[in-house]
Chain A
Amino acid sequence: MDLKEGLRAETWAKSSLAENEMSKRISSNNPCFTDFNSQQYQQKWEDPSILDYDIRINPAFQEFNQPPQNQSSLPCDPTNQIKNPFQMNENLQTNKMQDWDPKAMLNNLSFLEQKIHELQDLVHLIVGRRSQILGRPDELVAQQQQLITADLTSIIVQLISTAGSLLPSMKHTLSAATPSMGQLGQFGGVPFPPGAGLSDSIQVQNSCAKKVSNQSNPIDLVGNSGTQQNHAVEEHDLKDEDDADDGEQLPPGSYEILQLEKEEILAPHTHFCTICGKGFKRDANLRMHMRGHGDEYKTPAALAKPHKESSSEPMLIKRYSCPYAGCKRNKDHKKFQPLKTILCVKNHYKRTHCDKSYVCSRCNTKKFSVIADLKTHEKHCGKDKWLCSCGTTFSRKDKLFGHIALFQGHTPAIPLDETIKGLAGPSDRREGNEATSKIGSTNFNFGSSVPNGTGVSDMDAKGES
């Protein structure tokens, strides 16, 4: 029993960052929330497996009341504080490199406008709640205050940085100042909702670990969130993180930038079966595979393509950055050009930063890093016979000549086999004519081609006329 509880507590420690403190775990076997809910114990008794326990406990937590969440909000602060400034710094550094873009400025301003509206809604909500539930503890008021302060802080930060982008000289000081501001205002810690931590702790943990997956998580949170307030808070959370991305990265504005890690890009499979672990390149293939694991995966709903979240919030366009530092497709580059899709990222990374390991079996010279490129090349390998002195080959002669006309110093390259053969001499011509002369005696036309030939043949013609 003790052992089991300890185990359970450990699971908590792992899964929920918001909830657990090391000291608590060490001091007692009882988790902090035993005070509020007896249901948990019942569940514990009923469910021997940890997995089940986790699954069941989640919905239960969603129905929980606010107060314990508020209490537990503080312990999660340190992790957030660590994370957020770090992110901000990173973003600020990229910021310095970028030039002012009016379009991005407009985007930022509209973003700010939206944000202020949201904050307004939140305050409205709080006002409404306050009238409903009068007998609230002071902590709730404090938390609401904190929430609003945090939102305001982020708006101010964004405003300053937006303005700062106009002044190149400002940038440096700004980037140095902002992180501390974030820390002072508990920028990272406060807005991180305790509710979210409770209800979807695992996902929150993910969000801390990985930025990319973090982006998609808030949507789940929105879907799961039980109360209106939670929803608002979580949305704010999402915005806040985006702020860190967008607000500091001045030019992109309209889109958010995602950056996959090298390992992720090069991974052969992106979809894995949760049961047997088999990897797949496509989601559809995984779904087909899943049918073998039971009837529940054969329902039309399970087989259907996961539909996109119909959120009221307009979806931000996603753009991708190459993880390779110094690459033009890397977000730190001065003239950063984002990649449109994950596929683009993969192809770009392989083509530009990886070894070309696929060699054409026909010509043994052309190498490719993307196998599709090799296949495309193999389709017309050997047909590219139009060669420029710069080494470029063309499948069409007019393309080669267009290229040569365009560039100074480039000349058509004559294939080697011909240069070796060279000039055989007109002997073949002469033999050929000899052959024709055998056939008939009337081929005077030849005469014109050879020195002094015309004279004789003319004379002949005249003589017989």
Chain B
Amino acid sequence: MKKQRCSEKINLFDLLSEEIVFIILDCLNTNPFDKKSFSLVCKSFYITESKHRKKLKPLRQEHLPAVLIRYSNTTHLDLSLCPRINDHSLFAISKITSFTLQSIDLSRSWGFSSSGLLSLTLSCKNLKEIDISNAVSLKDAGAAALAEAKNLEKLWMGRCKMVTDMGVGCIAVGCKNLKLISLKWCLGVGDLGVGLIAVKCKEIRSLDLSYLPITNKCLPSILKLQHLEDLILEGCFGIDDCSLAALKHRCKSLKVLDMSSCQNISHLGLSSLTSSIGGLQQLTLAHGSPVTLSIANGLKKLSMLQSIKLDGSVVTRAGLKAIGDWCVSLKELSLSKCDGVTDEGLSYVATKHRDLRKLDITCCRKISDVSITHVTSSCTGLTSLRMESCTLVPREAFVLIGQRCRFLEELDLTDNEIDDEGLKSISRCSKLSVLKLGICLNITDGGLAHVGMCCSKLKELDLYRCVGIMDSGILTIACGCPDLEMINIAYLKDITDSSLLSLSKCSRLNTFESRGCPLITSLGLAAIAVGCKQLIKLDIKWCHNINDVGMLPLAHFSQNLRQINLSYTSVTDVGLLSLASISCLQNMTILHVKGLSPNGLAAALLACGGITKVKLQAAFKQLLPQPLIDHLQARGCVFQWRNKVFQVLHEN
């Protein structure tokens, strides 16, 4: 569209002020290539686009300096596609963007040292956000370098396992304005470091202390934080009832609390905690102690509570009833994988909490149509219902869902008894965007056709092993749901290229899984590649008929592809090598590809500059030269050697 306008009357654009062009550019968000096309029109467009762009997600560190010079207004730098960022790159970043850079994401990168970080934090004075998660070899010196970012507000450092209290202490002293810090899995950090954060960083809003070896000692100072809203204490085994009972401070600001997997906390600790944090809105107690009457009564005091998640806990009938008796009206209830959820309890809860928006009853295998009847009749405003593997629910019950819960946006019916009648009913939920029907063996094309016709906003559709679905069903979906982004047709053995041809019209498709569809050929894949240019994730395992002919268009058109599974296909060296032209390809699984030679594999791997992870048959380890493996590892590639036995796709 832009191209046309520009080619017709270039002069018109000279009349437009830069601000107006910027506003137009703001709207070009859907396809990452739109802006690229825009910038390639002419010099002035090129300059305008380079001034407009604020967020950068580069693919290679080699080009970083040039890219940064071109986009001089970059405030947000996402390096998650660069597996390797060395100190030189960080020096370059700190030099070029010293005044503009506000946010940097290094969570997927490695290869830099504390000196690189130091130069970054010293020169980029406006840096407000740093994500350095997964820097498992970052030590206290690196943390001390981070502490030089005096204006830092958000810091994610999950899984920085080598950082100790000393490093966190430096950050606590250096970054006074911290509002968010995530220390998840920083196993070296204990009470002292966390306590110092609480003492020094008074602005903290969000604190993630999951799986830290902290005990009761740091809790009082944490709860003294004036602005703390979000506290995650998942898997903190060191916190127990005694400590919570001793808490005297009232933390009025706290809104979200996650105490999942805190095994040493019973109802006693919880009730003392809830009495000190009355303003809580969201509480997560997944995998905790059994939800009994006493726990539910202890939570009664939380008058502001809107959401509670009890995933994986044992729930008693009395406990559920007590939850139902709360005076507050819950908006979200998650009972996923909870043992002991019965029709009686769930029905009671559902009738009491009529404002429920989200309900998760995944794997509550004891519930039947009674529960569904009550849930659908009282909670008509449900937007999300997840009920995977509720195997006792009969097919008739699903009709009720469609009839009564018209506002559903997300529905997970994986592994259920739903049939075409149910699907027809569900198709009335016109806002539906996520529909998961995996292993629903009773549905056929007829039912799916209703969904395809009515649910035009569908974005995700999971038809994994829905053996009743054939090409016509997919055709209706492809025609009726133009916004489709993700589709899983794995193990639909009757699917042919015609489905793929129809799906190629869904231009926003980014995830396509067609594993185990033996009838699909390279032709179909080529159609997908041409039509769905935003494809990111592709799984064509066990598609025996796909060969190099399919790879060539893929390599040419799917320039956004990042992940591909080629196992058990007929691809050879040529096809694999052609994939190397996809610059952002990061992740490949290549098991039991017969046509592949060690030399071809080596060449392909060498050519794929951005590869970070490759899963290979273990036999290749001996066949590939060790220097090559070393070289690739040095570039940031991880090899996963698999020793899987050759399997034949079972015909169902």
Contacts and interface: CB of A to CB of B under 8 A. Distances in A.
Contacts, number: 140
Nearest to A402: B192
A447 to B, nearest CB: 8
Interface in A403-441: 404-405, 409-412, 414, 418-419, 421-431, 433-434, 437-438, 441
B174 interface: yes
Interface in B117-152: 117, 134-144, 147
Given A450-B612, A451-B613, A426 B169 contact: no
B586 interface: yes
A95 to B, nearest CB: 48
A401 interface: yes
A397 B165 CA distance: 9
Interface string B539-581: 1010000000000000000000011010000000000000000
Interface string A438-465: 1001000010011111011001001100
Interface residues of A, number: 39
Contact of A401 (B111, B113, B196): B196
B173 A411 contact: yes
A295 interface: no
B561 to A, nearest CB: 11
B638 A456 contact: no
A401 B516 contact: no
A423 B114 contact: yes
Chain A CB count within 10 A is highest, among B539, B618, B638, B643, for B638
A398 interface: yes
Contact of B192 (A398, A419, A452, A459): A398
A453 B110 CA distance: 17
B36 interface: no
B640 interface: yes
A455 B141 contact: no
B460 to A, nearest CB: 14
Contacts of A462: 464, 490
A403 to B, nearest CB: 11
Contacts of B173: 404, 409-412
Given A450-B613, A452-B586, A434 B639 contact: yes
B contact residues, range: 35 or more
A422 B114 contact: yes
Given A397-B192, A427-B633, A453-B613, A419 B141 contact: yes
Contacts of A438: 618, 641
B245 interface: no
B114 A419 contact: yes
Nearest to A398: B192
Contact of A430 (B140, B195, B565, B633): B633
A373 to B, nearest CB: 28
Contacts of A425: 110-113, 137
Contacts of A398: 192
Interface in B222-246: none
A422 B117 CA distance: 10
A428 B140 contact: no
A449 B107 CA distance: 11
Nearest to A417: B141
Contacts of B199: 405
B170 A414 contact: yes
B256 interface: no
B169 A449 contact: no
Chain B CB count within 10 A is highest, among A429, A449, A451, for A451
Contacts of B159: 449
A450 B611 CA distance: 12
Contacts of B117: 423
B145 to A, nearest CB: 9
20 contacts: A404-B169, A405-B196, A421-B141, A422-B113, A422-B114, A422-B115, A423-B113, A423-B114, A423-B142, A425-B111, A426-B136, A427-B634, A431-B633, A433-B638, A434-B640, A452-B537, A452-B562, A452-B587, A453-B587, A459-B490
Interface of B: 80, 108, 110-117, 134-144, 147, 159, 165-167, 169-170, 173-174, 192-193, 195-196, 199-200, 464, 490-491, 513, 515-516, 537, 539, 541, 562-563, 565, 586-587, 589, 612-613, 615, 618, 633-634, 638-644
Given A404-B169, A412-B165, A437-B639, 20 more contacts: A401-B196, A405-B195, A411-B144, A411-B170, A412-B140, A414-B143, A422-B114, A422-B141, A423-B116, A423-B137, A425-B113, A426-B110, A426-B136, A427-B110, A427-B111, A451-B108, A451-B587, A462-B490, A463-B490, A463-B541
